[in-house]
Amino acid sequence: MSHFDLAILVIDENAVRAAIIEDGLREAGHVHVTVVHTVNGIARVIEATRPDVIIIDIENPNRDMMEHLFQLTRSVSRPIAMFVDRSDSASIEAAVEAGVSAYTVDGLKKERVKPILDMAVIRFNAFSRLQRELADAKSALEDRKVIERAKGILMKLRNLNEEEAYALMRQTAMNEKKKMAEIAQSVVTAAGLLM
Amino acid sequence: MTDISRRSILKTSATVALLGAVRTAFPSGAFAATAGPEVTGVKLGYIALTDAAPLIVAKEKGLFAKYGLPDVEVSKQASWGATRDNLVLGGASNGIDGAHILTPMPYLISAGAVTQNNIPVPMSIIARLNLDSQGISAAKEYAATGVGLDAGKLKEAFAAKKAAGGEVKVAMTFPGGTHDLWLRYWLAAGGIDPDKDVSTIVVPPPQMVANMKVGNMDAFCVGEPWNEQLVNQGIGFTACTTGELWKGHPEKALGMRTDWVEANPNATKALLMAVMEAQQWADSMDNKEEMAAILGKRQWFNVPPKDVLGRLKGNINYGNGRVEENTGLEMKFWKDHASYPFKSHDAWFLTENVRWGYMPADTDITALVDKVNREDLWREAAKELGVAAADIPQSTSRGVETFFDGKVFDPENPQTYLASLAIKALA
C-alpha cells in the first residue's frame, strides 16, 4: 500500500482552512480524505472512515477530548499521539508553529505519515498567510478612507488645498511619532465632536 | 527637530544593541562573578485559571524583572494537552520550559505516561502555586436532587438517565490531573463508580461553561473562575468546593523541564523568588480586588472581575440557594505553607493515579517523588528571600491527611490507604 492509499481524516472548525488542506491532499494524490468540522460524534466518524491519520488543529480545545476518547475506545485501536518524531525537530517545530497536531493509528510507520503532515503544515501556513494579507489589505483600505475624510475636513475648516492638508497631517504624524491614519482618525473624531 | 530626535533614537537603540551583544558574548565572564541569572527570561505556560495568579501577578507587578528576569514570558495555553506538548518541545524548540500545571502532570510526563510514544521527559516541581478552591459543578436539572458534598444523591438520577438510553457525562480537564482525581474521589465516596456508572470526558477549563450551556455534560470539576461564572450565568450550581473534600489540599504546581533547571540554577532561584513574592502579594485580602481586576483583563482570562472575586475572598454563592461567607475555603497562595511543595502531597497524587490505573500498581511512589520534587530548591530560594522561619516547614511531609468521608492517607503507607477504598481500578 502506497501512502496515497492512507485514509486521512481532517478535523477543523474552520471550513475554509479545512478545504485548503483537503485540496492539497487531493492534489498530492490522496484519495481517501474525509473532512469534518466538529469533534462532536467523532467516534462514529472514526469508526466509519477508519482513518490511518487524523489531522487536527493543535489549538482546538477539543483535541484533548479526542485524545481521551482514543484512550478509552477500542474501536479506534489505540492510536498514538505524535508529532512525527522527537529527533526530527524541524518537522515538529513546523507542525507546532502551524498549529497542526497529528495522531496516527498504531503501527503506522512515521515515514509514511510525514509527507502528509508536511503537506498539512504547508497548507496551514499558506492559509494563515492569506488571512494576514487579507487583514492587512482591509486595514490599508480603512486607513485610506479615513485619511481622505480627514483631508476633506481640514480643507474645509482651514481653507487648505488638498496637498497642504495632506502635508499638514503628515507633518503632525511625524512630530507625534504616530501613524498618519491615527492622526486622521483623531481629526475625524474631533470634527465629529466640534461640528 | 524631528530629524534630530529620530537620529538620537537610532543612536540609543544601537547602544542598547551593542550592550546586549557584549552581554551575550561573555555569559560566564565578567557577569558570572555576581552569580546573577544565567538567562534574562524563560517561557512559561499558563491556563486561564485563578491559580495561575502567582505567575500573572509576578509579570504584571514587574517581579520577574526585579529578580533579574525581565524577559519572562507568560503565555496562554489552549488546554492541558497543549501545555504538555509545549513542555515536551521545550523553549529551545519554540515550546515552553515551565508552566502553571496540575501537580500530577510533571509526574505523568516524567514517567512517559502521557507523552507521545511514551517517551519520558524529566520534569521538576519547584513550588506549589496554591491550595484549595476548585469546584465540582452540576447542571441545573440536578439541583432538585439536593446534591452537595454527598455525590450519592445523584445516583438515582444518573441511573434513570442511563436507563432511558442517555449517557451520563462528567467532565474533567486532564486524565490523572487534579480535577479528574477530585471528581473521582467525590463520585466514588458517594458510591458512584467513575469508570462504570458514568462517562468521563476531557474539556479544557475555559471551555467548561460553554459546554455545559449546550448540554454536553451533566457535571464537571474545574478550577475557578469557571464554577463561579457558571453560577453567575445561571447555567448550573456548585455541588461542593474541593476544600470541603480535603481542607487545605494541594493543587497546581510550578513545573519546569529538568534540563532547564539544571542548566540555569541561578535563574531558577530568581524565578522562585519572584513567584514567592507574588504569592505573598496574592494572599493578602487587601489585594483581592486588584487581583480580580488584573486576572479579568482581556489578555489574561477575559472575564468580568466579579466571576473571580467572590471565591478569592472565600465567599461562595453555590447557585442553589446556599450562600456562605468567610468560609476559609478561599484559594491560598502563601499562608498555610501553600507555596512549599510537600513531598507527602505529591505522594497522594501518585497514589490516586495508581488507584485509577493511570500508573501501574507497582509504581515506586517514593522514588518518583524524590526524582521530580525539588523542595530543596524552594528552601534555598526561601532562605535568600528572607522568608520567616515559621513559613518554612520543618519536614518534607505534612503528615497524615484526613478526607471528608473519614478516609486517612498516611504518606508513609499508601498501600493501607489504597486498601481502605471501596471503588478503585488498579492496573
Q: What's the CATH number where B70 sits?
A: 3.40.190.10
Higher pLDDT, residue A75 or B102: B102
Q: Nearest CB to B202: which of A68, A80, A86?
A: A68
Q: In this structure, are B270 and B400 located in the same domain?
A: yes
Region B144-150 average pLDDT? 96
Residue A151 has pLDDT above 80, yes or no: yes
Looking at CA atoms only, how far is residue A85 from chain B in angstroms?
A: 9
Q: Are residues B299 and B416 in the same domain?
A: yes
Q: Which of B93, B201, B203 sits opposite A93 (nearest CB)?
A: B93
Span of B11-25, B93-107, B114-128 with lowest mean pLDDT? B11-25
A146 and A128 part of one domain: no
Domain count, chain B: 2
pLDDT number for residue A96:
63
Same domain, yes or no: B143 and B268: no
- The answer on A99 and A19 residing in a single domain is yes
For chain A, how many structural domains are there in total? Answer: 2
- The answer to the question of residue B414 being in a domain is yes
Task: Give a yes or no: residue B315 inside a domain.
Answer: no
Q: Are residues A123 and A174 in the same domain?
A: no
The predicted structure's pLDDT at residue B32: 39
Chain B residues lying within 8 Å of A175, measured CB to CB: 1-2
B188 with B115, same domain? no
Per the domain annotation, does B387 fall within a domain?
A: yes
Judge residue A158's burial from the number of C-beta atoms within 10 Å of its C-beta, 0-12 exposed, 13-18 middle, 19 or more buried. exposed
Same domain, A58 and A88: yes
- Domain CATH code at residue A157: 1.10.10.10
pLDDT of residue A85: 41
Query: Does residue B177 sit within a domain?
Result: yes
pLDDT at B117 over 80: no
Domain end call among B245, B275, B294: B245
B68 lies in a domain?
Answer: yes
User: Is the pLDDT at B5 greater than 60, yes or no?
Assistant: no
Shared-domain flag, residues A13 and A63: yes
> Higher pLDDT residue, B3 or B231?
B231
Q: What mean pLDDT do residues B366-370 have?
A: 98
Q: How far is CA B179 from CA A44, B134, B142, B184, in A?
A: 27, 8, 20, 8
Task: For chain B, give the secondary structure using H, E and C.
Answer: CHHHHHHHHHHHHHHHHHHHHHHHHCCCCCCHHHCCCCCCCCEEEECCCHHHHHHHHHHHCCHHHHCCCCCCEEEECCCHHHHHHHHHHCHHHCCCCEEEEECHHHHHHHCCCCCHHHCCCCEEEEEECCECCEEEEEEHHHHHHCCCCCHHHHHHHHHHHHHCCCCCEEEECCCCCHHHHHHHHHHHHCCCCCCCCCEEEECCHHHHHHHHHCCCCCEEEEECCHHHHHHHCCCEEEEEEHHHHCCCCECEEEEEEHHHHHHCHHHHHHHHHHHHHHHHHHHCHHHHHHHHHHHHCCCCCCCCCHHHHHHHCCCEECCCCCEECCCCCCCECCCCCCCCCCHHHHHHHHHHHHHCCCCCCCCCHHHHHHHHECHHHHHHHHHHHCCCHHHCCCCCCCCCEECCCCCEECCCCHHHHHHHCCCCCCC
Of A74 and B167, the structure prediction assigns the larger pLDDT to B167
Inter-CA distances, B409 with A115, B240, B348, Å: 51, 21, 7
Same domain, B85 and B185: no
pLDDT at B16 over 60: no
Q: Model confidence over B271-321: pLDDT tens digits? A: 999 999 999 999 999 999 999 999 999 999 999 999 999 999 999 999 999
Write down the pLDDT at residue A112.
66
Q: Residues B147, B125: one domain?
A: no
User: Do B213 and B115 belong to one domain?
Assistant: no
Are residues A105 and A173 located together in one domain of the fold? no
B420: pLDDT strictly greater than 60: yes
Nearest CA in chain A to B80: A64
Averaged over B192-197, what is the pLDDT?
96
State the CATH number of the domain containing residue A84.
3.40.190.80
CA distance B232 to B210: 13
- Residue B35 belongs to some domain of the structure: no
* Mean pLDDT across B218-232: 97
Domain boundary among B195, B221, B245: B245
Which of B6, B47, B93 should be substituted to probe chain A, the one whose Cβ sees the most A Cβ atoms within 10 Å? Answer: B93
Q: Is residue B313 included in any domain, yes or no? A: no
**Neighbour-count burial of B148, counting CB atoms closer than 10 A to its CB (0-12 exposed, 13-18 middle, 19+ buried):** middle
∠ CA A13-B86-B297, rounded to 5°: 70
* Domain ranges, residue A9: 3-132
Least confident of A45-59, A110-124, B209-223: A110-124
Q: Within an 8 Å CB–CB cutoff, is residue B79 touching chain A?
A: yes
> Which residues form the domain of B240?
134-245
Check pLDDT > 90 for residue A54. Answer: no
Distance, CA of B169 to chain centre: 23
The mean-pLDDT minimum among A27-31, A68-72, A174-178, B78-82 falls in A68-72
**pLDDT exceeds 80 at position A91:** no
- Which positions in chain A touch B1 (Cβ < 8 Å)? 175
